[in-house]
Amino acid sequence: MATFGNLSDRLAETFKNLRTKGKLSAADVDGTVREIRRALLDADVALEVVKDFTGKVRERALGDEVSKALNPAQQVVQIVNDELITILGGQQRRLEFAKKPPTIIMLAGLQGAGKTTLAGKLAKWLAKDGHTPLLVAADLQRPNAVTQLEVVAKQAGVAVYAPEPGNGVGDPVKVARDGVKYALQKVHDVVIVDTAGRLGVDAELMKQAANIRKAIDPDEVLFVIDAMIGQDAVATAKAFQDGVDFTGVVLTKLDGDARGGAALSVASLTGRPIMFASTGEGLDDFEPFHPDRMAGRILDLGDILTLIEQAQGAFDEDEARKVAEKFATDTFTLDDFLGQMQQLRNMGSIKKMMSMLPGAGAMKAQLENFDEREIVRTEAIIQSMTKLERTTPKLLNGSRRLRIARGSGSSVTEVNQLVQRFEQAAKMMKTVARGGMPNIPGMGPIPGAGYGGKPKQVAKKKGSKSGNPAKRAAENAAIASGVKSTGESVKADAVGSGFGLGSGAQPGKGKAGGPTEEEMAALQKMLGR
C-alpha cells in the first residue's frame, strides 16, 4: 500500500531494534513508543489520535502480557497491531441493504475526491454480487460531471439516469428524487446517487447535500475522502458529519505516494467506520475495507486473505482442476501457460499482489523494479507461435525461434528464456501435482521432502565386483551365460578355490556353479596363456 509506505518502513525499523532484546525494560518501551509517535505524526495522523494510541500501547507494553512473554518484541508488535485495528474502526462494517428495494446509497465529499469514479466502482462491485445498480447523475455543478458518469457507467456495464445535461443546469434534488422513482419502475435494487462537491467546505455545498438527503432518505450515506488530503481530512470529515451525517467512509487514492496517515484518524474521530477503499484508477481497483487486514499491511504482516479472495475471483475452479490434471499427466502446453498468465493478469497489478505477502517490505526495491509489461511481452512471444509449436515446444529449432522473435518484437534470447522458464515451471508443477516437493532453483533439495510418486528402482549393474582379475572374468562369464554368479555358487557349495570357482565340479560336466569349457577358455585368454 503505497500511501502508508513511509509509515510501514518507520514502524518496521522500530520493531527491528526490539528483536535483539531478550527482555524489555521501561526505557526500551519508552524509546519504542517515542519512535512510534514520531512515525505517526510524520504520517499526518491527527495529534489527538496519536496521543490516545501511544498511551494505550505504552500502558499495555509495560504490563504483564509483555514482561511474561517468551518473545517480548513480538508481543509489542501484536499490541501495536491490536491498537491499529481499533483506530481503523475495529470490525468490518458491511453495507446495510433495505428490506424493501431499492437500497439508496448517497455519495458525498469534496470535489476531486473521486466520487464519480467511485460510483462506477461500487456499481460494478455490486453487479458482480448479483445486484442491479442504477447510477443517478445529481452532480450538476462540475463541468462534464454528467458525461463522466455516463462514460463510467458504460465501462462498468450498469444503467445510468441522467435527465439533465449538468454544467450548472438542472435541479439536483429533483434529479435525485426522480432517480429513485425511475429505479422502482425499472426494478433496480440499488440506487447510487452521485452528488456535487466543492473545492472546500461551504454553506451552499452542505445545504444542497442536506436537501438531497432529506428528499431521498438514503439507507447509506458514504463520505468519500481523498487519502492524500493531509491534516485537513479530519476537519472536512467533521464538517460533513455535522452537515450531512454520513454512515460510512470510503478512502480513495490509496495507491498514491502521499503520507496518508490523516485517513487513519477519520474513523477514530468521527466514530464512523471505513467501509471501502479505492486502490487504483481501474474500476476493479476497489475492495471492502477490513481494519485487521489494513493494520497487517501497515505493519508488513501481509494480507493473505485479500490475496486469496482476489485469486478466487479471477481463477476458474474447473479450469484450475483441468490444468492440475495436465500437470500430473505431463500434457501441460504453452497454450495452458498462456491461459494461466492471462488469469493472473486479470487479478490486477502483480506489484500490488506481491505487496500483500508477509515481509514484502524487505523486497521493496525488487518490487519497484518489477516491470508489469513483462507478462504482455511473454504473451506476445507465445501468440507468435503456431498451434503445433505451442503444444510441442521441442519443435522450436533455431529458425523457428528467430521467426517467433521477429514476430513478437523480441530477441531470440528472450524466446529461449521463455521456453526454459516454461520447462522449469512445468517440471516443478508436475512434481507438486504428484504430491512431491519441487526442487526450487538456488535452494537445493528440501530435507525430508518427497519428490513425487515412488522413487524409481535403479537396476543394479550386473557384473562382478571382485578385485581379482581372474575371479572377475570368471564371474562375468558366468553371468553372461545365464548361470548363477560364482559368488552365489560359493555360498551354495560352501567351498571353493582361491579364484572363487566351485569345487567338486569338473569342467564341462554342467554342474550348477561350475565353469564350462568356454568359460575356462576365456579365463585362460585373460591370463595370457
Q: Binding site membership for GTP: which residues?
A: 109-116, 194-198, 252-255
Which pairing describes strands 286-288 and 190-194: parallel, antiparallel, or unpaired? unpaired
Q: How far apart are CA 270 and CA 272, in angstroms?
A: 5
Q: How far apart are CA 390 and CA 337, in angstroms?
A: 9
The C-alpha cell at 326 is 495436465
DSSP collapsed to 3 states, 69-91: CCCHHHHHHHHHHHHHHHHCCCC
Compute how many other C-beta atoms are within 10 angstroms of the C-beta atom of residue 355: 22
The b-or-e profile of 145-169 (16+ CB within 10 A means b, else e) is bbebbeebbeebebbbbbebebeee
Packing angle between helix 412-433 and helix 374-383, nearest 10 degrees?
90
Q: How far apart are CA 109 and CA 142, in angstroms?
A: 13
Q: Note whether 186 and 134 are within 8 A (CB).
A: yes
The single-letter code of the amino acid at 91 is Q
Contacts of 337 (CB under 8 A, 6+ apart): 382, 422, 425, 426
Place of cell 447509506: 220
Q: How far apart are CA 502 and CA 509, in angstroms?
A: 12
Q: Note whether 434 and 452 are within 8 A (CB).
A: yes
Q: Note whether 170 and 164 are within 8 A (CB).
A: yes
CB neighbour class for 418 (10 Å; exposed up to 12, middle 13-18, buried from 19): buried
| Residues tagged in the binding site annotation | 109-116, 194-198, 252-255
Q: How far apart are CA 503 and CA 497, in angstroms?
A: 7
